[in-house]
Structure 1
Amino acid sequence: GGELELYNEHDQLIDRFLPTAGSLIIFESERFPHAVLPAVDTRYSIAGWFRKNASINGVLDPAS
């Protein structure tokens, strides 16, 4: 269990990845619809976002 499924823009399955210790899969989540199947054991994942900062004069956009 716990496989990651990636789909194309037509919701067709591209591939299914087994959770493997020490593995890393990086993909654009906005570009590729995806699903994680139910896991039978503890499964860890990390989500992150890349963004372009349009700061002017060192001021963060948006201001925090």
Structure 2
Amino acid sequence: MRELINRSLRAAKNYSLWDYAFLKTTLLSLGILIGAYFAKFFLSHMSLLLSPLIEFEPYPLININ
């Protein structure tokens, strides 16, 4: 496992700014596409998807005293 991590870090050093920009754009587009195709699924399971964010957030939105 450690060798895989080291290998990926060595490969990432060869990436240029354009490579990172293309990767981020591609992942953003893929996320929007998946969200558009499976909107019903994500909306019906919203509480399940957001519960880890609400449970473990460092600064709670609601202050309970």
How high is the TM-score relative to the length of structure 2? 0.22
Instruction: Flag the structure with higher helix content.
Output: 2
Q: TM-score, normalised by structure 1?
A: 0.22
Using CA pairs below 8 Å that are at least 6 residues apart, which structure has the higher relative contact order?
1
Structure possessing the higher radius of gyration over alpha carbons: 2
